[in-house]
């Protein structure tokens, strides 16, 4: 069974303290790795899609990378408004509509 | 472009009742997926519709069903509600034309509480 595992479950940072979130996935058959941000009571907001090992994408203070067995979401000099739950999801095989989500990392950034 | 919209946003039902949730995808998107989100299980895939046909289905009982209309709008129905059905139900849309996984764009969700 395909699986996506995120760590840590929760992360507390001071404003400006850079860190990384990890997403490990079942390697066989992965055809896309997706990162989302979710604020309380809201739907997930799309951040990045990665398709190939070695691929990197950046947006403001966030940078997503993909290796052959895991993905990282690097947060550089975070601000309190970056506080949210970050979700990663794997897309497998020919299943276009079915993303397998990890449980998420809840990030808190204190001023 | 307008985003994915879901109605209603909040719903309270009692055990045994049924409920219908609605989703309007981003204009031009033909694939609509439904997910259930709970604190314990996270986001779990329910089913996906494309061109009015169910294309993928998750591991949920038959009480959960859906359909898609010719304008790509989708509804999901839960019959004989149980307490454990209390969750945030999320709808996501994507173009649906790629030969594999696509970026999905989520709506705000419908919060269902079963008493």
pLDDT, tens only, A38-58: 999 899 999 999 999 999 999
> What distance in Å separates the CA atoms of residue B13 and residue B82, rounded to the nearest whole number?
10
For testing contact with chain B, the best of A6, A23, A43 (most B CBs within 10 A): A43
Residue A91 vs residue A37, higher pLDDT: A37
> What distance in Å separates the CA atoms of residue B73 and residue A52, rounded to the nearest whole number?
32
For testing contact with chain B, the best of A25, A47, A96 (most B CBs within 10 A): A96
Give just the sign of the alpha carbon dihedral A18, A89, A26, B41: positive
Checking DSSP bridges between strand A105-110 and strand A10-14, what pairing results, if any? parallel
User: What 3-state class would DSSP assign to A49?
Assistant: strand
Quick one: pLDDT band at residue B99, thresholds 50, 70, 90? Answer: confident
Mean model confidence pLDDT for chain B: 94
Measured between CA atoms, the residue of chain B closest to residue A5 is: B42
Share of chain A above pLDDT 70, in %: 95
Q: Residue B91's CB: how many other CB atoms inside 10 A?
A: 30
Residue listed under structure tokens 């276009």: A96
Q: Quick check: A102 and B42 CB within 8 A?
A: yes
CB contacts, 8 Å: A89 with chain B:
43
Measure in Å the smallest separation between the Cα of A91 and chain B Cα atoms: 5
Altogether, the residues listed in chain B come to a count of 115
Q: Quick check: B45 and A98 CB within 8 A?
A: yes
pLDDT, tens only, B32-69: 999 999 998 999 999 999 999 998 899 999 999 999 99
Quick one: pLDDT band at residue B83, thresholds 50, 70, 90? Answer: very high
A45 φ/ψ angles, rounded to the nearest 5 degrees: -110, 125
Q: Quick check: A45 and B106 CB within 8 A?
A: yes
The DSSP 8-state label assigned to residue A90 in this structure reads E
pLDDT, tens only, B66-82: 999 999 999 999 999 99
**Host H or E run for residue A31:** strand A30-38
């Amino acid at each position: 069974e395909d699986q996506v595992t995120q760590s840590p479950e929760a992360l507390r940072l001071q404003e400006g303290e850079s860190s990384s979130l990890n997403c490990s996935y079942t390697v066989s058959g992965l055809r896309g790795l997706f990162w989302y941000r979710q604020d309380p009571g809201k739907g997930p907001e799309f951040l990045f899609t990665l398709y190939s090992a070695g691929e990197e994408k950046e947006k403001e203070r966030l940078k997503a990378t993909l290796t052959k067995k895991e993905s990282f979401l690097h947060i550089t000099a975070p601000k309190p408004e970056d506080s949210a739950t970050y979700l990663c999801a794997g897309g497998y095989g020919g299943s276009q509509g079915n993303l397998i989500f990890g449980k998420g990392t809840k990030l808190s950034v204190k001023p | 472009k307008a985003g994915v919209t879901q109605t209603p946003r909040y719903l309270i039902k009692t055990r045994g009742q049924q409920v219908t949730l609605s989703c309007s995808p981003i204009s031009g998107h033909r694939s609509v997926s439904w997910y259930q989100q709970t604190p314990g299980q996270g986001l779990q895939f329910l089913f996906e519709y494309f061109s009015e046909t169910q294309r993928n289905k998750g591991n949920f009982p038959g009480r959960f069903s859906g359909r898609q209309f010719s304008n790509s709008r989708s509804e999901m129905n839960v019959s004989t509600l149980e307490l454990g059905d209390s969750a945030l139900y999320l709808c996501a849309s994507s173009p649906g034309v790629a030969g594999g996984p696509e970026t999905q764009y989520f709506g705000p969700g419908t919060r269902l509480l079963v008493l």
